[in-house]
Structure 1
Amino acid sequence: MAYLEKVSPLQRVQHPARSGSLLLSAGVAILSALIFVALALRILNYEMRKDEQLYVPPIRLLDTQEIYRDFFYNHTPGSAWLFYGLGRLTGSDHLLLTGRLGVLLGWVVLIAVIGGISYALTQSRLISWCIVILSVTNELFLTQPGMTATNNLLPLPLSFLGLGLFILGVRDERDRPMLYAGAGFFLSLAVCFKISAVAFIPPVVIASFLLPRALGVQERGLRVVAPLALGGAIGGLPVLLYLVTDRQRFLAHVLGYHTGPHVQYMRMPGVADEGAAMTLAAKLLLAHDIWLAAGVAVALVAVGALLITLLWGGGEARPATRGLTMGPAWVVVGALIFSAALSFIPTPGFPQYFAQPLICIPLALAVLFAGLGSNERRHVAPALLAATVIALVIAAPRFGQYLGTALHPERWTVMRVHDGGVALAERMTEAGADGRVATLAPIYPLEGGLEVYPELATGPFAYRTGDITPPALAGQYRMTSPTRIGALLDSDPPAALLLGFDDTLEAPMVAYAEANGYERVTDLGIRDRYGNAVLYLRRPGQAVSSPAP
């Protein structure tokens, strides 16, 4: 009773409020940890995709070979070197696991930069958390583009950070050369992971000549444009290095393949069923399905609510907040326009090509909320929190899909793929088959520590276009083709052929194995979404000859 007499009425009211705030913080922390665990399990359990046959092998190949020169790789080198570096750092022989952990690292960076930039703009931990969740629950990111060991997710946090740093620099009209240098660095570094990340550079370059408005033209050139260009040059060094040392080969892989044989192959009858969008109408439909998916639509409604409140809310200090918001808002609009337009340029179109504009949504949320007055924020915050809850409900089935495997790592896809590679190596050892493995699924033999042919080391992509690639372009690739594979194998007979994943492309290899009496093994236990592995083993001392054409 004596204690109660000493406590003021105001303190009695504040104690429950403080307790409620602590409970809310604890609840958010627990929910965030659960979401992250679910995200990690989803990445480790997601079914292996064909694209990973290109991106994962460099983890082993780069030990002794040089990218582009010694094996085919049709993208900028960032993801290859990241995955390889993680492999060297961890010492792991689980290749798919290493690649997927690289993607998980990309997610950690994406979450951190969205949260950090959002908080720097809004000064609100709760709103920043909502913006992060609205981004993490994006349907596209929770499917193949964001789950597999590829370069699809990796440039997004770098692009977001570059845009965010530039916006922070121009927002308060102050001289911030280091922010502009950082913006240029990360925007260029993103291009080292995926060439389409170049979409975010033009709007920032244009804005650097116009913002901040408080600076004069000459001062803007020295304090904004110059640092931005310097940072960009440093961030782009990995690409610039290849352009200087081996320009023709680099461009043949990164641009020549995608604009030539790849397009021609995808136009061939029976190939478009891989989900490629070959026409503008098909691309528009694909963009609609991605950009207006349920979770994205919820985030867009939140953006609309903030925009309406900012434009017509009539809150306090509006002239000042509007002045600070318009410049950054136009940067976001420019980034959205350029990235959306670039999404439609590649043919064929795939879902991952439409991922870039989606990072403009959290930027828009942060910039618009930052422009609101305190009274408007109190009215809008519940709506943003409600949108976050709805997005979580929509994404809950995907987050919960693999929670049951948490205590059973042997069931994880990354572990099963590695175990399949080990089983392959053991079967070959038992049969006395020593040498290279011919396959269009090189991850499996590489997981088992086996050697593959350099011409087939990154999967079916160069192989399937080999017969339609112009000679001048083909001279830049280390590759073979369905009509030349027999001669390659005859010159260096494989110890085994791992097939069963593509009946059409593998037909010449099956013919070679059968013509040369390789022993057919079907109980290897390797199975994925593309088929059941069939192993053809060469017996010790077995002679080989070329199959009939």
Structure 2
Amino acid sequence: MTNVEEISVSKIVGQSVRPRALLFSAGMVVLSGLLLFCLLLRVMNYEVRKDEQLYVPPIRLLDQYQLYTDFFYNHPPGSAWLFYGIGKIVGSDHLMLAGRVSIFLTWILLLAVIGWITYALTRSALVAWCAAVLTVTNELFLSQTGMTATNNLLPLPFSLLGVGLFVLAVKDRRALPLVVGAAGFCLSIAASFKISAVAFIPPVAIAAFFLPRGYQFRQRLLRVVLPLALGGLLGGLPILVPLVSDPQMFLAHVLGYHTGPHLQYWQDPAVESEGASVSWAAKLLLAQSVWLSATVAVAISAVLTLFLAWFLSPAGNERLLVAPLLVVAGAFVCSVALSLIPTPGFPQYFGPPLICLPLTLALLYAGLGHETRRYMQPGLIAATIVVLAVAAPRLAQYLPTVSHPERWTVLRVHEAGETVAERLAAAGVSGKVATLSPIYPLEGGLPVYQELATGPFAYRIADIADPKLAAFYKMTSPTTIGALFDADPPAALLLGFDEVLERPMLAYAQRNGYVVSADLGIKDRYGAPVLYVRPQAD
């Protein structure tokens, strides 16, 4: 064949392939938009969970109270201030809406980080898209972990970005100090949302003393270790400020609570498990159900296939990023260990190790030769199609609510709060509302007791907490709440969420002649609450 004929054939082939490539790219864009829209609907419609009674109230409480000092909060301050800031930006009095918007924005950031890091390593938009889809379809992330206004999802994009930036900064012979500093900043910011995110810091900190391998030790100290430490200090300010200003108060809430009365509470046989795993055997079984769920198993299969492709392909040996892979492996091991340490264990505790999967996939793909990459792409696409098919029922679950936004959970919760406020106004009473679900009265603009402002988490351990530790908590207990009400009678009590914990509150309402209000139209997975209104004569 002559050169002219070869050129003509290549042009014809190029013209035939190009429309299919454009059609495929357009399909990816449309499907991505649909996935994000389904994700938004799921976040806005997912049922209210008890943990949100802790995380959402600070959106309003921080206007007049100080974190830890004036109300109980058993986590680092990052999530409280993020939700509060988003609430101010949104400029709405819909508290649950602000919290869930924060979670959706976190999803956008997580997927953007996965796509960007994967593309930076592989220069393949297709692989980047597959890595993002393999994450968004994860069963754990489509449940309470990634749908509710809590701190479970918040640290993940920052942890992934921190490890990814460090890998990008040191994978070549020359380090990038600014990128290393940004990695340290992101890793510390992640820990300001949730303490378990510190699991990703040790492997990166250790690797900073050994990478890049072409540097002398002194060079690594100046161009890697020092920028990482400075970035980490800057990102750690949300934790360092309260830790330095009042270390006992901060540590009592963030560490003392979880290692003391919280553990003691869940070890009580009379307490319902609510999905908690106390024994090591139960935690291992829970971890297995999370880490080897259907969609995760498919993602792991894709990663193992890439690993075998590299192992059996000598052409890719020189391109494999061994040192970065060791960093990711260290992050995986540390996050697995820290997931198993807390007692009791809950499903959301086992989410952090899963973000190592897309980064591992990207690194392995980057280590393949050109021809091997081409042969591996159909397998990645097939894995992506499988996880989309598995997750489709969950993702499409709330599509019917598109035409009825008033039925969305975030709007129904706000409407319920307004209903409570209207009932009190109609009864001619004003004052605080006593409840273990403070989101509802706060949504209605009503005041709540500081001792109950973040739900049942301090209330239920108050009678068993060590007095020295309890002195740092603004709280009341089932045995002391009667005295609190006698000194400052509630305008109303919103009860019906926890029969056991609410017994003293119900007894107070019945003893003092509180009037039962008509059906409020409020119902969540914990019950259909009843409003007890103070008699007008009082």
Distance 2:91 2:338 in 1: 38
Asked if the contact 2:317–2:368 (Cα under 8 Å) also holds between the matched residues in 1, the reply is no
Give, as a single letter, the amino acid of the residue that structure 2 aligns with 1:539: P
Which digits, 9 at most, give the CA deviation of each residue in 1:95-124, with x for residues without a partner? 001000000010000000000000000000
Please, what is the CA RMSD of the aligned residues?
1.0
**In 1: Cα distance, 2:308 partner to 2:180 partner:** 30
Residues of 1 paired with 2:266 and 2:346: CA distance? 12
- Give the match's secondary structure for 1:274: coil
Residue number in structure 2 paired with 1:271 = 271
Distance 1:344 1:505 in 2: 29
Does residue 146 (structure 1) correspond to residue 146 (structure 2)? The answer is: yes
Equivalences for residues 100-179 of structure 1 within 5 A: 100-179=100-179
Q: 1:277·1:286 contact (CA, 8 Å) conserved in 2?
A: yes
Amino acid at match of 1:51: D
Deviations 1:404-457 (A, max 9, x none): 111210110001110000011001100011110000000000000000000000
Q: Is the 8 A contact 2:45 2:408 kept in 1?
A: yes
Matched residue type, 1:117: I
C-alpha displacement of 1:518: 0.4
Residue 16 of structure 1, CA deviation: 2.3
Residue 498 of structure 1 corresponds to 494
Name the residue aligned to 2:349. 353
Given candidates 314, 325, 329, the residue that maps to 2:325 is 329
Q: Which amino acid letter does the alignment assign opposite residue 424 of structure 2?
A: M
- 1:254 alignment counterpart: 254
CA distance in 1, matches of 2:167, 2:81: 30
Q: Structure 2 CA distance, aligned partners of 1:121 and 1:8?
A: 34
CA–CA separation in structure 2 for the residues paired with 1:243 and 1:212: 34
1:545 corresponds to which residue? none
1:374-393 matches, cutoff 5 A: 374-393=370-389
In structure 1, the residue matched to 2:433 is 437
Q: Is the partner of 2:535 in helix, strand or coil? A: coil
Check if 1:296 corresponds to 2:292: no
Question: How far off its partner does 1:172 sit?
Answer: 1.4
- Name 1:83's counterpart in structure 2: 83
SS of residue paired to 1:141: coil
- The CA deviation at 1:309 is 1.0
Q: Are the aligned partners of 2:310 and 2:317 in contact in 1 as well (CA < 8 Å)?
A: no
Taking the TM superposition and a 5 Å limit, the aligned residue runs for 1:353-432 are 353-432=349-428
Distance 1:451 1:444 in 2: 11
Quick one: which amino acid aligns to residue 391 of structure 2?
A
Q: 2-side partners of 1:288 and 1:272: how far apart?
A: 22
- For the pair 1:451 / 2:447, whether they are aligned, the reply is yes
Q: Which string of whole-angstrom CA distances, capped at 9 and with x for unpartnered residues, describes residues 291-338 of structure 1?
A: 0000000000000001111122222xx45313xx10111011100100
CA distance in 1, matches of 2:172, 2:395: 39
* Identity score, percent: 61
Q: For residue 36 of structure 2, what is the aligned residue in structure 1? A: 36
**Structure 1 residue 16 corresponds to structure 2 residue 12:** no
Distance 2:537 2:81 in 1: 39
| Structure-to-structure mapping, 1:50-89, within 5 angstroms | 50-89=50-89
Amino acid of the structure 2 residue aligned with 1:212: P
Q: Which residue of 2 aligns with 1:3?
A: none
Deviation string 1:100-151 (CA, Å, 9 cap, x unpaired) is: 0000010000000000000000000001000000011111000001000000
Structure-2 separation of matches of 1:198 and 1:100: 25
- Match for residue 318 of structure 2? 320
CA distance in 1, matches of 2:40, 2:121: 28
Number of residues paired by the alignment? Answer: 532
Q: How does 1:224-235 map to 2 (within 5 A)?
A: 224-235=224-235
2:3 corresponding residue in structure 1: none
Which structure 1 residue ranges, 4+ long, deviate > 6 Å from structure 2? none
- Looking at structure 2, the residues matched to 90 and 53 of structure 1 have their Cα atoms a distance apart, in angstroms, of 20
Deviation at 1:269, TM superposition (A): 2.0
What do the CA deviations read for 1:64-97 (whole angstroms, capped 9, x no partner)?
1100000000000111101100111111111001
Unmatched runs of 5 consecutive residues or more in structure 2: 1-6
Mapped partners of 2:239, 2:304: distance in 1: 38
* Cα shift at 1:272: 4.1
> Contact 1:522/1:533 (CA < 8 Å) preserved in 2?
no
1:505-549, Cα deviation, whole Å (9 max, x unpaired) = 00000000000000012411111100011110012232xxxxxxx
Separation of aligned partners in 1, 2:291 and 2:18: 40
* AA at the equivalent of 2:267: R
1:535 alignment partner, SS class: strand
C-alpha separation in 1, matches of 2:202 and 2:55: 28
Question: Would you say the 8 A contact 1:183–1:231 is kept in 2?
Answer: yes
Match of residue 238 from structure 1: 238
Cα distance in structure 1, aligned partners of 2:10 and 2:366: 31
Structure 1 gaps, min length 5: 1-6, 543-549
**Paired residue secondary structure (2:472):** coil
Distance 2:147 2:123 in 1: 31
Q: Does the Cα contact within 8 Å between 1:432 and 1:539 map onto a contact in 2?
A: no
Deviation at 1:245, TM superposition (A): 0.2
Shift of 1:173: 2.0
Deviation by residue 1:15-55 (Cα, 9 ceiling, x = unmatched): 22111111111100000000000000000000000000000
Q: Secondary structure at the match of 1:135?
A: helix
- Residues 99 and 249 (structure 1), Cα distance of their counterparts in 2 relative to 1, 3 Å cut: same
Q: Deviations over 1:468-491 (max 9, x none)?
A: 011111110100000000000110
CA offset at residue 8 of structure 1?
4.3
- Identify the residue that residue 200 of structure 1 maps to in structure 2: 200
TM-score by length of 2: 0.98
Instruction: Name the SS of the counterpart of 1:531 in structure 2.
Output: coil
